[in-house]
Amino acid sequence: MKKTIFCILLSLLMIGMFTGCAGGSADPMAELLNDPYGDYRETGGEIAFVFADSARDGSYNEAIYEGIQMYALAAGASFSHYGAGDDSPAEHKEAIEQAAESKAQIIICAGYDFQEAVWELQDVYPGISFLLIDGTLEGTDGDPVEMGSNVHCISFKEEESGYLAGYMAVLEGYRKLGFIGGKEDTPSVVRYGYGYLQGIDEAAKELGLQDVSVNYWYAESFLPDPKTKDMALKWYQEGIEVIFACGGGLYQSVLEAAEEADGLLIGVDVDQSPLSERFVTSAVKDISNGVIHSLDDYFASGKKWSDAFAGKEIRYGAKDRCTGLAVSEGKWKFEHASEEVYQEMYRRIRQGELSVSDDIAEDSSVKTELAIKVNFL
């Protein structure tokens, strides 16, 4: 039964994310999501979602939320969500404790910043299962710690999506590009950024370009912030044509700057083109699919992780159709970079003919071997 639910949801998700609907009909996922609350409970849901900022952030958290909501509605499970008051380890821990004390059976934690709290609490609540998204368990000293059998981690090959965004942007004709990331210590953000640089660099080499440059900066926040807007506005005014806004709600600040300076953006995590015409594309990862796949394993295994998931991390990529650009019908905005070229690049990555480095070390060869000019700020 659970596997059938997963197959149906996955089919709807793939249609909505990568292909769109013929004839301009509504996204089929909307049929599942038309009730914004569904089996939502303020507290006490068996599935708990804990996050910083907002569950409906138009980006990362919302993709997780929709995956939970789709599965819960289809499986008849109840769910609740608990927001951390601010983006700090103490608040992350408090949000998880609130969910646990409200009788949650599985707690889904949004992002790398929650890993310290999960490490501390996995043994405190051995009867609760944890799903940590975009993190592995690290102790307070940054060294890996052993994952309990009640913990499962999922992550993504964001470097593939970043590569495709950068490559296609250069093919479109952009020569002055920018990257504004969330936090520099967040691996998923850095993978997006380094993939972006690799794609830009490869396209510039193929076209024989000598005038391609990138401004690269971490805002050290995933929230909208005046300093992020000021930086983006300065870049646009100095001639930056498009900025990859990579990190939750910070896109709001970049978008404000783009609207003032007539600039363009690349979105992240989900297709952000419905938010504004200024998004030329979005580098996406199918977080909802990963969440649904994980919940399916948990429920199908008797409300615990199977041996294939317990204490382990699974990383999804193009091979699993979980990374790429948003290419649903009517969403391809590039005029000079064709969708056919994109699909060929995507095929090469999926089949292993093109490999994108995931090296994000401080001394990564990604940074040292670039031919393009990159201004790391």
Distance of CA 225 to the CA centre of its chain: 20
Query: What is the average pLDDT across 228-252?
Result: 96
Name the band, by pLDDT with cuts 50, 70 and 90, for residue 141. low
Report the share of the chain in percent with pLDDT over 70.
85
Token pair 């068996």 in the structure block, residue: 46
Give the three-state DSSP class for 96: helix
Higher pLDDT, 361 or 143: 361
Q: Which of 19-23, 92-96, 338-342 has the lowest average pLDDT?
A: 19-23
CA distances from 305 to 21, 47, 116, 318, 360 (A): 35, 14, 21, 25, 30
Token pair 């649904």 in the structure block, residue: 292
**DSSP result, 109-144:** EESGGGHHHHHHHTTTSTTSEEEEET---B-TTS-B
Closest to 248 (Cα-Cα) out of 67, 104, 53, 101: 53
Strand partners, 213: 176, 373
Residue 40 carries which DSSP code?
B
Give per-residue pLDDT as tens, 184-199: 989 999 999 999 999 9
Closest to 60 (Cα-Cα) out of 152, 186, 214, 179: 186
**Mean pLDDT computed over every residue of the chain:** 87
pLDDT at 301: 95
Give the Cα separation of 104 and 124 in Å (integer). 14
Name the band, by pLDDT with cuts 50, 70 and 90, for residue 60. confident
Spell out the domains of the chain, with CATH numbers in brackets: 2-157+286-320 (3.40.50.2300), 158-285+325-376 (3.40.50.2300)
- Give the CA count within 13 Å in the CB-facing half-sphere of 128: 27
Give the Cα separation of 293 and 298 in Å (integer). 9
pLDDT at 372: 97
Strand partners, 245: 180
Q: Which two tokens stand for residue 83?
A: 């927001």
CA distances from 319 to 19, 79, 187, 322 (A): 17, 30, 20, 7
Q: Which of 50-54, 254-258, 334-338 has the lowest average pLDDT?
A: 50-54
**pTM given for the model:** 0.86
Query: What is the average pLDDT across 51-59?
Result: 74
